[in-house]
Amino acid sequence: MNLVQAGTGGSPVRVRGTNAADTDGPSARPYPWRTWLVFGLIALTGCERKSTALSGATPASNPPAAAASAGAGASAVAAVPVVATYGYQVVDVRPHDPEAFTQGLVFLQGVLFESTGLNGHSSLRRVDLQTGRVLQKIDVSAQYFAEGMTILDGKIYQLTWQSQKGFVYDLETFALKREFTYTGEGWGLTTDGHSLIMSDGTNQIRFLDPATFRVTRTIQVLDHGAPLPRLNELEYVKGEIYANIWQTQSVARINPADGTVTGMIDFSGLLAPSDYRTNTDVLNGIAYDPAGDRLFVTGKNWPKLFEVRLHPK
């Protein structure tokens, strides 16, 4: 919100500058230096607008030029963060339960853990990576719509969508150990090894103490300085937060220190049209294997789980 205001505040600075020159104009004597000053201001304003348009229109395709243009053209305009774009290469394809409405995905010790949603279909699963076979599963009560899930210190944490209730399970037995509450909606969940990191459908990400569930800090996720809402399934990857953006083919790479979007991964075309069925839903589900540096991606009711490698576009 503050940055939106700061952003709109940028414009009036330029307008005020132009207006001051205009106001001075009629009452001022026509000294040549003043005329040149006005021409100079007009030219500078033109440069600012051009560089702003450039960096807004093609931030990813040519970030160095946009950044250089913004820097050279307008010292009064706040720098627009450069957001890199990434494509992907499919390394491997494995089966995924097409009835699993994936809301959370974690890789740990050679297997996948998955949280599935929808009332009456919500579950917690341990899944064989190679075959997609469900090795262990508990159903979540039909009154709950399960959401994001993560694992920390031998415990599994699972959110629900609108019930403001989370569950803590034993990693081995899936026995329910504890329940907790939070305000707002529950969407995605991951961990940096210390905190639970939670999205709620807005552009906010909360960091929670895993023992008390108190919010220790909150970041506002901003893409090119603007709020980026609908952050869904999360994964902590090499010091960054990856976030599925709901109803898109994109995953944002987020700096956990300040919420800045540093990159955008375009997963367009990952699931072939021939793999779509009537209940196939959006891309959702990111898991990372730190030991093997492997990234896994799937979607809600997708028949396939993809191991992908990213590359700059």
Nearest to 150 by CA among 178, 182, 192: 192
Q: Output the smallest distance, CB 296 to Ca ion, in A.
A: 9
- Contacts with Ca ion by CB under 5 A lie at 105, 235, 286
Choose between 205 and 286: whose C-beta lies nearer to Ca ion: 286
Q: Output the smallest distance, CB 107 to Ca ion, in A.
A: 8
Beta bridge partners, 84, equal 263
Nearest to 107 by CA among 302, 265, 303, 290: 290
Q: Output the smallest distance, CB 209 to Ca ion, in A.
A: 20
Q: d(Cα 94, Cα 156) in Å, to the nearest integer? A: 24
- Triad 99, 251, 162: Cα angle to 5°: 55
Written as six digits, the tokens of 251 are 């995953």
Q: Output the smallest distance, CB 242 to Ca ion, in A.
A: 8
Written as six digits, the tokens of 164 are 């403001």
- Triad 297, 300, 306: Cα angle to 5°: 25
Choose between 14 and 101: whose C-beta lies nearer to Ca ion: 101
Choose between 147 and 235: whose C-beta lies nearer to Ca ion: 235
Closest residue by beta carbon to Ca ion: 235
Q: Output the smallest distance, CB 43 to Ca ion, in A.
A: 50
Choose between 105 and 265: whose C-beta lies nearer to Ca ion: 105
Q: d(Cα 53, Cα 142) in Å, to the nearest integer? A: 50
Choose between 80 and 208: whose C-beta lies nearer to Ca ion: 208
Choose between 59 and 132: whose C-beta lies nearer to Ca ion: 132
Q: Output the smallest distance, CB 40 to Ca ion, in A.
A: 53
Q: d(Cα 90, Cα 84) in Å, to the nearest integer? A: 20
- Triad 219, 179, 192: Cα angle to 5°: 35
Choose between 74 and 234: whose C-beta lies nearer to Ca ion: 234
Query: Is the Cβ–Cβ distance between 72 and 108 less than 8 Å?
Result: no
Pairing of strands 261-266, 84-95: parallel
Q: d(Cα 65, Cα 70) in Å, to the nearest integer? A: 8
Q: Output the smallest distance, CB 149 to Ca ion, in A.
A: 7
